[in-house]
Chain A
Amino acid sequence: MTDFTSLGVKAIRDGVAGGDFTAREVAESFNAAVASAAELNAFIVTTPDHALAAADAADKARADGKDLGAMAGVPIGMKDLFATKGVQTTAASHILEGFIPEYESTVSQNLWNAGAGMLGKLNLDQFAMGSSNETSHFGNVASPWRKEGTNAAMSPGGSSGGSSSAVAARIAPAATGTDTGGSIRQPAAFTGICGIKPTYGRCSRWGVVAFASSLDQAGPMARSVEDCAIMLGAMAGFDAKDATSLKMDVPNWEAALSSDLKGKKVGIPREYRMDGTDDAIMASWEQGKEWLRDAGAEIVDISLPHTKYALPAYYIIAPAEASSNLARYDGVRYGLRDLPDGAGLQDMYAETRAAGFGDEVKRRILIGTYVLSAGFYDAYYNQAQKVRALVSRDFENAWADCDLILAPTTPTASFALGSLNDDPLTMYLNDVFAVPASLAGLPAMSVPAGINPDGLPLGLQLVGKAFDEQSVLDAGLAIQERAGFTVKPEKWW
């Protein structure tokens, strides 16, 4: 059997369409890779039959001379936050363990309609709350990368850590992710892959387990900018079932991709030069500027004065929305029920939620409940929403001087699993560069920039104007072409 696992989305789609190989061969290859990678713990459940059925459908469509979809014959990983009909959907929680949706999320349905198949449901931080993939009820996910000279299991980032680990390990050519405050970009940076969070509203949230509804946005994770452009095109689109869905045409991002940045101005936000940022990351940022200049862009200094307040505002707004969204897990309609003998309804709620939620989820529900409670709403929640408006206004002002923004994705490279568990705040600080674009709902992408002295990948982040995913992808492509990032994690699993 030829090994197809080194191929990405575009190569698979074009190879299947051109008859170089069959989709079935590809699906079999990835199914086998998934089955042999249990040590990564990237998948919660595997669905080899789903991948094979989609592959057979693609092969048959080709044999019949029919038009093939944009993702025809491409088997992907699905973050276990998307409801998939007939396949367990848990958000990596105990409270949803055994939940088998009767319906399919819009994003996953769009992907199946485009001809993709599913290798399985990917592990994540519980309810997408975490930056290291250590809060899953189904165990930590390990990155395929290791720090040079050690065997310690490294974090694949979070919350889309199953997605990042699987794509970096080449057991999936691409995967879905979701990003509330960096959950696509930070794991992509940690594992040397690409990931884009589109403008808020591009991808329907219908059927995506809700964390913080004003921030949650789905996007693709893959090993190249082209693959992200193709997959984002398949995922996005207006959906009447999501009240915040954008009623706009989806551009053909793939067809318009161009790494020629002549006439583009790229802003460098001075407030992103923060204490505690790795030297190697600062160096990669400088390198990134050179690459974009080489691609024809003009580099300009800009200011985003409220940057330092974005993260604390996020840690009020996101938990507040989460405490409200997660009120639905009550042991009545779906999921876990813990009903001790003789217990009443209120006891059942409290016992079910105590048993069903992990520590980080409980912590955030409590924070959210507190900041929304009588007497504190104005001081915390309202203030945070006003600061959010200022963070967003900073970007609006910056667009007077530039077309997009270049910054690091994270302040450090990946860390060993377990090394940051003592203090939730240190963990939260990992998303300091990612959260501002989330608060403003802007498209943002992480692309691999290089390897640090420890042999771990580093990412660079591009942030664009609302609806301008194209400029973000184009600049991502310019970096990709110049970075020549071809290093692969050595297989140990």
Chain B
Amino acid sequence: MSVDKQTVAKIASLARIKMGDEQLEALVPELNNILDWVEQLGEVDVTGVEPMSAVIPNTLRLRDDVVDADPKTGGGKRDDVLANAPAAEHGFFGVPKVIE
């Protein structure tokens, strides 16, 4: 499988990264090189093999059902959460108008 400029433009748009024509054109051979190379994985017989998403068998833990069980990840942190926002207004994240 290989990608053309139109496909790269589609991926860039899905990834929400603005790219000009020149950038898209430069990326076509770069991505194709990488995709050609990973294509070799198709040779591997994976019959009956389950995909591995976690290396160490580990069951997900539940935290204690208590408000603010760990203060670092609990509530009441509005100002901390907003401290690095590029536009924080009235205790909220500010974004451009999305509804006409």
Chain A interface residues toward B at CB < 8 A: 99-103, 199-201, 214, 240-241, 243-244, 246-247, 306, 308-309, 312-313, 315-316, 323, 327, 330-337, 339, 343-351, 353-354, 357, 362-363, 365-367, 369-370, 373, 376, 379-380, 382-390, 392, 423-425, 439-441, 466
Contact = CB atoms under 8 A, between A and B. Distances in A.
A354 B27 CA distance: 14
A349 to B, nearest CB: 4
Contacts of B95: 332, 345, 348
B34 interface: yes
B83 interface: yes
Contact of B44 (A103, A243, A309, A354): A309
Contact of A424 (B1, B30, B98): B30
20 contacts: A201-B56, A244-B54, A244-B56, A309-B41, A312-B41, A315-B38, A333-B85, A347-B18, A350-B16, A363-B27, A365-B17, A370-B11, A370-B35, A379-B1, A379-B42, A383-B41, A387-B41, A389-B49, A392-B52, A441-B56
A-side binding surface: helix, strand, loop or mixed? helix
Contacts, number: 171
B67 interface: no
Interface of B: 1, 3, 7-8, 11-19, 27, 30-31, 33-35, 37-38, 40-42, 44, 46, 49-56, 58, 60-61, 63, 70, 72-73, 77, 80-81, 83-87, 93, 95-98
Closest 6 CB pairs of A and B: A441-B55, A385-B51, A337-B86, A334-B84, A389-B52, A350-B18
A339 B85 CA distance: 14
A1 to B, nearest CB: 39
A333 B16 CA distance: 16
A353 B98 CA distance: 19
Given A246-B56, A246-B58, A334-B84, A348 B96 contact: yes
Given A353-B15, A370-B11, A389-B51, A240 B61 contact: yes
A316 B38 contact: yes
Contact of A199 (B1, B16, B56): B56
A341 to B, nearest CB: 11
Contact of B17 (A199, A244, A357, A383): A357
Contacts of A337: 86-87
A362 B6 CA distance: 17
A425 B44 contact: no
Contacts of A384: 38, 41
B1 to A, nearest CB: 7
A391 to B, nearest CB: 9
Contacts of B38: 312-313, 315-316, 380, 384
A106 B60 CA distance: 19
Contacts of A439: 55
Given A363-B30, A424-B33, 12 more contacts: A102-B81, A199-B56, A201-B56, A327-B16, A333-B85, A350-B18, A353-B16, A369-B14, A370-B35, A392-B55, A425-B34, A441-B55
B96 A201 contact: no
A224 to B, nearest CB: 28
A423 B17 contact: no
Nearest to A384: B41
B37 A366 contact: no
Contacts of B70: 240-241
Contacts of A247: 61
B14 A373 contact: yes
A333 B77 CA distance: 14
A331 B86 contact: yes
Contacts of A370: 3, 7, 11, 31, 35
A214 B61 contact: no
Given A241-B73, A333-B84, A345-B96, A376 B1 contact: yes
A316 B35 CA distance: 9
Nearest to B16: A349
Contacts of A349: 16
B17 A315 contact: no
Nearest to A101: B84
B84 A99 contact: yes
Nearest to A319: B34
